[in-house]
Amino acid sequence: MVYLEERKIGGKTYYYIVRNVRAGKNKWRKETEYFGTKKPSNKDIVEFSKRTEKVSIKYLSKEQLNLLNKLKTRYKDYLSKLTEHDFVQFEDATITSFTYNTNAIEGSTLTLQDTGIILNEKITPPGKELREIYGAINIKNAYNYMKKMKNITESTIKKIHSIVMKNILEQELGECRTVPVRIIGSYVQPPLPIDVENQMKELLEWYNKNKNMHPFELACLLHVKFEKIHPFIDGNGRVGRLIMNFVLLKNKYPLLDVKVDKKLDYYKTLENAQIRRKYRDFIDFSLSIYEKDAKSMGWI
């Protein structure tokens, strides 16, 4: 059952669309979407009903669901108020931050300022290796390609890899690796080359069968599973963070920008999910990044 709920706080009326969902024998939970002081239209209610009708939620708590719903709504409202010029600036800042962090996690020495002038002013900072310059340009190009994708497939993943590693990787560009690899500092052992193609096929089958999963859970688990396969000889982390964000952006959530200063927590929770199946730890970690960024933007 879907219905409109009004809550009066401090003299103002706040609106929520609510669905009661069975969570077991004689147990129910509420799924809500926050609309602020703007009363939802009938179209909003119908769209919410369609989105939540078959959504499977396994790891997110009620509080986390409410947080994500509020964040999504506030993000949508924020974008709707931007002028075309302001939107371009917001998008440039978003891509610059993501490019800086995703490359810094992999060891790039480019600063945020370096990344900004490379991407937005087309200026090459002195004393930087071409590999790092290409790395920044490639992430922006791969991000733009990812945003236009219709779905995640074997070909789109390989295309992202070919863009991310252009002018950096000399062999097996856009192709699954043909040699064994190890993840430095991790107990995770990726599959042998002979098993990579089959495991990638299984991953895509899993993804397509689980699209009814909550988008945030789906994005996080997809990332965990992809990184465990480590299908490419290099560039797996950057590709993985891009396809994780495809799921989020496709479902109208903001981009998830894993910060380099959280690198150790990122690796730890990722490994716990891959080895011990502690998926909730990685989801909690990812949501903490979302929450901090949303607060800095005034979305929650």
DSSP state of 260: G
The catalytically annotated residue of 161, 214, 223, 230 is: 230
104: which residues sit within 8 A by CB, 6+ positions away? 110, 260
Is 175 within 8 Å of 231 (Cβ atoms)?
Answer: no
d(CA 214, CA 58): 9
- Kindly give the residue spans of alpha helices, DSSP state H, lying in 33-129: 42-52, 62-80, 84-105, 112-120
Q: 69 Cβ partners below 8 Å, 6+ apart?
A: 32, 33, 34
Q: What's the rounded Cα separation, in Å, for the pair 1 and 3?
A: 7
Residue 85 bears catalytic tag? no
- Give every CB contact of residue 130 below 8 A, 6+ residues apart in sequence: 167
Residue 41's alpha-carbon distances to 2, 26, 30, 45, in angstroms, are 13, 32, 20, 7
Phi, psi (deg, nearest 5) at residue 121: -115, -5
Sign (positive or negative) of CA dihedral 213, 219, 224, 230: positive
Long-range CB contacts (within 8 A, 24+) of 195-198:
196/229, 196/231
Q: List, by residue number, the catalytic residues.
A: 230
